Amino acid sequence: MSDTALFAAVFLACIVEAVEALTIVLAAGTARDWRSALAGVLAGLVTLAVIIAALGPAISSIPMGGLRLFVGGVLLVFGLQWLRKAILRASGHKALHDEAQIYQTELAMAERATTVRRGSVADWYAFTLSFKGVVLEGLEVAFIALTFGSNQHNIPLAAIAAASAVVLVTALGLALKAPLAGVPENSMKFVVGIMLTSFGIFWGAEGAGVVWPGSDAALLVLIPATGLYALALVSLFRRHAPVRVAPVPARTVEEVSAS
């Protein structure tokens, strides 16, 4: 796997998670208190830094065969989850992910919540909402960067790709002062699901002792094959699709992060 492919895979996957975290933080700051919301972001980033500092050396110490098997399993868990939901959305069996609607839902919930002060935090609701959003989405970013980076022996490049995605989304969010509803998130999740699933199959099989014809070049066949299979499922399911469901309804932060 080339450095360019590694960077692109991590960057694309992390953009999706960063957009979702940004939506939650914007709702917390706009409806409640920006200082408390930003304090929650900072606390979330510190928590993530501690987790990453603990996980990084642990993952890197796994023998290569075991590492590829572990990484392949983790990526399959992420990839198949994303791909399943993307197929259901594309075929009309699940509501499309609507970031603008999610923002309005979080905004309404935040406006109704009671203001509670705890210590130096003026608004505990804004703090916890931002904290949960950053930690939940950030953990996915961290796992993607660590697994891809460790497997390719290039954690710094994977970290740069993840950080670049987060910085780009944050900068755009601050410039627009609104959720990035224009990002084609449903299509991106479909593509990322295909990529993560393909890499999961590839590395998991290598960890189990499989020797792929052409080594890394096998991915040039595996990724399109996974994509074609996913598109075939979309076409099949679309024939039996129910009436198109409405955009994503009101949900909690945990439910938003799990989608």
Express each pLDDT in 194-236 by its tens digit.
Answer: 888 888 898 888 888 888 888 778 888 998 999 999 999 999 8
Bridge partners of 118, per DSSP, are 121
Residues present in the chain in total: 259
pLDDT at 231: 92
- From residue 152, give the alpha-carbon distance in Å to each of 138, 140, 147, 191, 245: 21, 18, 9, 21, 41
pLDDT at 250: 45
Opening angle at CA 90, ends 130 and 236, nearest 5: 145
Angle between helical axes of 124-151 and 3-31 (0-180°, round to 10) = 180
Bridge partners of 52, per DSSP, are none
**Mean pLDDT (the chain, rounded):** 79
- Give start and end residues of each alpha helix (H) in 32-152: 34-60, 64-90, 99-112, 124-151
Instruction: Give the integer Cα–Cα distance in Å for 184 and 201.
Output: 26
Global pTM exceeds 0.85 = no
The tens digit of pLDDT for each residue in 25-46 reads: 888 888 888 889 899 999 999 9
Hunting for tokens 């992390």 — which residue is that? 14
Mean per-residue pLDDT for 54-64? 68
